[in-house]
Amino acid sequence: MSLPIIGKKVFVEVPSTTANLGPGFDCLGAALDLKNLFTIQRVEGNGERFELIMESTEGNHLRGGPENLFYRAAQRVWNAAEVEPFALEARVSLAVPPARGLGSSATAIVAGLVGANALINNPLSKEKLLELAIDIEGHPDNVVPSLIGGLCFTAKAASERWRIVRCEWDSSIKAVVAIPSLRLSTSEARRVMPKNVPISDAVMNMGSLTLLLNGLKTGKEDLISEGMHDKLHEPYRWKLIKGGLAVKDAAMRSGALGCAISGAGPSVLALCKEDLGKRISQAMVKAWESEGVASRAPLLSLQTEGSRWYPGKIVGSST
Ligand code: HSE
Q: Is the C-beta atom of 19 inside 6 A of ligand 1?
A: yes
Mutate to test the pocket of ligand 1, among 139, 192, 268 (most ligand atoms within 8 A of CB): 139
- Residues 216, 96 share a domain: no
Average pLDDT across the chain, whole number: 94
Compute, in angstroms, the gap from residue 136 CA to the centroid of ligand 1: 13
**Same domain for 178 and 260?**
yes
Using the Cα atoms of residue 107, residue 109, residue 114 and residue 118 in order, give the sign of their dihedral. Answer: positive
Instruction: Please give the tally of structural domains in the chain.
Output: 2
Confidence of residue 63 (pLDDT cuts 50, 70, 90): low
Question: What gap in Å lies between CA 277 and CA 256, rounded to an integer?
Answer: 8
Write the residue with the smallest CA distance to atom 3 of ligand 1: 264
Residue 220: give the domain boundaries.
Answer: 173-300
104-123: burial string, b at 16+ Cβ within 10 Å, e else:
bbbbbbbbbbbbbbbbbeee
Same domain assignment for residues 161 and 193: no
Q: What single DSSP character describes residue 228?
A: -
First-to-last alpha carbon distance for the chain, in angstroms, is 15
Q: Would residue 158 count as lying in a domain?
A: yes
Answer whether residue 316 is part of any domain.
no
pLDDT in tens, 114-135: 999 999 999 999 999 999 999 9
Taking only the tens place, the pLDDT of each residue in 160-169 is 999 999 999 9
Please tell me if the CB atom of residue 137 comes closer than 6 angstroms to any atom of ligand 1. Answer: no
CATH of the domain at 158: 3.30.230.10
CA of 98 to the centre of ligand 1 (A): 14
- Which residues have a Cβ under 8 Å from the Cβ of 163 and sit 6 or more positions away? 154, 155, 156, 157
In a domain, 2, yes or no: no
Q: What is the pLDDT of residue 317?
A: 47
Q: Are residues 282 and 224 in the same domain?
A: yes
Question: Is the same domain home to 142 and 90?
Answer: yes
Q: Are residues 54 and 76 in the same domain?
A: yes
What residue's CA is closest to ligand 1, atom 5?
Answer: 264
What is the DSSP-derived secondary structure letter of residue 78? Answer: H
Residue 237 Cβ inside 6 Å of ligand 1? The answer reads: no
pLDDT above 90 (res 3)? no
Residue 254: CATH number of its domain:
3.30.70.890
- How is residue 79 annotated by DSSP? H
> Alpha-carbon torsion 201, 189, 300, 250, what sign?
positive
Same-domain check for residues 156 and 230:
no
Same domain, 183 and 95: no
